[in-house]
Amino acid sequence: MQIHRLEVTAEELHRWPVMVGDDEHPVVVRVTDADTVTLMAALAPQWEGSFGVWLRADAGYSAGLIARDVKTLSFLCSLDHVVIDADREAAAHAEVVRALLSDGSVTLRNAVATITDAYNRPAPARPLTVWHVEGEGLRHGADRLDVVEARDGVTTYRG
């Protein structure tokens, strides 16, 4: 599997007429100068294929808020992947996001959150793969993807 990270400004993203990824080569978008979720909500419904968002968790944008935004975005477009980046504890942030994308009650305690009997309903209509940044690569469970190429705003990760 491989993932292509498209790192763009809001203006550059608006110029993309269509984005096409597939299950084995999804595109994950990171907007550097604006809110990625808002722009994807506006533009992504016209795109086809497998794609996702690259989001940065921090004190102002917690994993709980990310889960809410991702869930909403998943109903507006064909979202398949989410990458969680953070200065610290990216895996813990991803764990919270993953748990809150379920339809059931969530009780969880880790390095970034304590959640007791919380709901984030309804769950996305289709399953989402939640990755987290680990060093220079990406991790989802036992799966690890490493950078194999980076140029012109596109970074390719392959496992």
pLDDT, tens only, 31-68: 999 999 999 998 887 777 778 999 999 999 999 999 99
Is-contact 5 155, C-beta < 8 A?
A: yes
Terminal Cα-to-Cα distance of the chain (whole angstroms): 6
**Lowest-confidence region among 18-22, 57-61, 83-87, 96-100:** 18-22
Statement: residue 109 has pLDDT above 80: yes
Query: Are residues 92 and 66 in contact, defined by beta-carbon separation less than 8 angstroms?
Result: no
Residue 23's pLDDT band (cuts 50, 70, 90)? low
Residue 11: what pLDDT? 92
Residue 21 — very low, low, confident or very high, per pLDDT cuts 50/70/90?
low
Q: 84 to each of 15, 16, 46, 123, 133, how far by Cα in Å? A: 25, 23, 24, 18, 6
Nearest residue to 91 via CA among 34, 52, 123, 137? 137
Q: How far apart are CA 147 and CA 98, in angstroms?
A: 23
